[in-house]
Chain A
Amino acid sequence: MSDSASIMPEHPPVTDWINDFDHTDPVWTEDPFPIWEKLRAASPVVHTERFLGCYMPTTYQAVKEIAYDTEHFSSRRVIVRDVRPEITARAPPITSDPPEHKPAKQILLPPFTPDAMKKLEPRVRAICNELIDEFIAEGKCDAAARYTKHVPVRAIAHMLGIPEKDGDLFIKWIHGILELGIKDDNALMDAVKEMTGYFAGHLEQRKKNPTDDLISTLMKAKDKDGNPLTDEHVLGSLRLLLIAGIDTTWSAIGSSLWHLAKTPADRERLVKEPALMPLAVEELLRAYSPVTMAREVMKETTVSGCPVRPGNMVLLSFPAANRDPAMFPDADKVVIDRKENRHAAFGLGIHRCVGSNLARMEMTVAIEEWLKRIPDFRLDPAGKVTWSEGTVRGPRQLPLLFGTN
């Protein structure tokens, strides 16, 4: 729930999920999976009057149709919110449609290839061990607050060339944009403004003293006509990398540790068979996909036979698609060595997450290093696991006990 004074009225609790769904309802936040099953049984596309009108595709097929259809569905708004103010702060390429999308994306792709991530991997391994050193002797910790959050914060700061110690600021802005911002436009605008000011300062520094980091790479990049990117474009892409690069992976690592804490069989198997990690990471990404995107309907069309009309948003739930039993046998079961897994955790089509290779590397390294140092752990019955609300889902409190403690 929002912890700030909200300018919008609180949402009434949902009683009719099929015709009045709300992805910010506390019941959804706590356990969305039975809700998605109910919606999927009702229709491949459901609708709510909340959020000024919003559809949700409930099947893998319907999600895929929308993700591939950039003619009828625009990415200019990528968060489903209570309000739809004029678009001021763009974040290319995530908020871009064709034909602007491809050149904006191609600038960001080379720094995020698997080979580029291999160079970053030793730093991430060191970050994980520095964090574990801080709490391992205590025999317990809130893993969301002391581990899973800091891995992506420090990794992305390292890549961008900004101080890792500014992490608390990043977390505050992201909370304002992705959670509070759904219902509170001021919280979102304040966060965007502060973030833009922060990065503008870093741009100015680099204009005087160029550096060898991702910010400088973006500043040196040329658009498709050979012109340097505008400061506005660079700032937009930097906002995107910070917003998209942190609580997404924070959530994915957290959900993975949560699953392993409550599933000793999977945990013991991963400790004994580390070669399973690549398949296990993909399965954890499928079962606990953190990211739900959005589209705006631009023209009337149909999705899986269901009519959709302009003026509505679309809650593009990759997490729900990844639980569709028509696509994945035993979809609600974590099969740690699942062989066939075309999951859509990083999206489908042209907007495939630019940071997917970074996210996979961080997840793999964070779970590997944790299991090496803390092979035996469980949920702390004295604590409570809490989950983030809305666009990105993952544990925000994850109290764990280690070993036989």
Chain B
Amino acid sequence: MAAKLKIRVDQDKCQGHARCKSLAPELFELDEFGNAHETGDGSVPASLEDKAWLAQSNCPEIAIEVTEE
């Protein structure tokens, strides 16, 4: 079985481009200023792994970390 992915948005880097929210709405939430946060504890369901990588590779600020547990 493939390793489980976890995502985290670095709040010092996020500038609210919201690309992640558009590409992977299930995995990210925006606050009142439009800055992104990972949904829940950042665990990525197996069915959404592609979306996690897509969001990560479109963040202009390189603010999204994807780790394999």
Task: State whether the Cβ of B59 lies closer than 8 Å to any Cβ in chain A.
Answer: yes
| Contact, CB under 8 Å: A114 / B18 | yes
- Of chain B, the residue at the smallest CB distance from A116 is B34
Task: State whether the Cβ of B57 lies closer than 8 Å to any Cβ in chain A.
Answer: yes
Q: Which of A339-366 contact B (CB under 8 A)?
A: 339-344, 346, 348-350, 352, 356-357, 360
| Contact, CB under 8 Å: A356 / B17 | yes
Q: A residues within 8 A CB of B19?
A: 282
Segment among A74-82, A105-113, A129-137 that sits at the interface with chain B: A105-113
| Contact, CB under 8 Å: B59 / A357 | no
- Known contacts: A346-B17, A352-B17. The answer to whether A113 contacts B30 by CB under 8 A is yes
Q: B residues within 8 A CB of A352?
A: 15-17
Q: How large is the interface on A (under 10, 10 to 19, 20 to 34, 35 or more residues)?
A: 20 to 34
Q: Which of B1-43 contact A (CB under 8 A)?
A: 15-19, 21-23, 30, 32-34
| Contact, CB under 8 Å: A349 / B57 | no
| Contact, CB under 8 Å: A342 / B34 | no
Task: State whether the Cβ of B48 lies closer than 8 Å to any Cβ in chain A.
Answer: no
Task: State whether the Cβ of A278 lies closer than 8 Å to any Cβ in chain B.
Answer: yes
Q: B residues within 8 A CB of A190?
A: none
Q: How large is the interface on B (under 10, 10 to 19, 20 to 34, 35 or more residues)?
A: 10 to 19
Chain B CB within 10 A, most for which of A109, A341, A342, A350: A342
Q: Mark A318-352, 1 if CB is under 8 A from B, else 0.
A: 00000000000000000000011111101011101
CB of A323, distance to nearest CB on chain B (Å): 15
CB of B46, distance to nearest CB on chain A (Å): 20
| Contact, CB under 8 Å: A112 / B60 | no
- Known contacts: A114-B30, A115-B30, A278-B22. The answer to whether A339 contacts B54 by CB under 8 A is yes
**Extra inter-chain contacts (16) besides given A114-B30, A346-B17, A348-B61, CB under 8 Å:** A106-B33, A110-B32, A113-B30, A113-B34, A114-B21, A114-B34, A115-B30, A339-B54, A340-B57, A342-B62, A343-B60, A346-B60, A349-B15, A352-B16, A356-B17, A357-B18
Task: Show 15 A/B contacts (Cβ-Cβ < 8 Å), sorted by A.
Answer: A110-B33, A112-B34, A113-B33, A278-B23, A282-B19, A339-B54, A339-B57, A340-B58, A341-B58, A344-B60, A346-B60, A348-B61, A350-B15, A357-B18, A357-B34
Which positions in A face B, CB cutoff 8 Å? 106, 109-110, 112-115, 278, 282, 339-344, 346, 348-350, 352, 356-357, 360
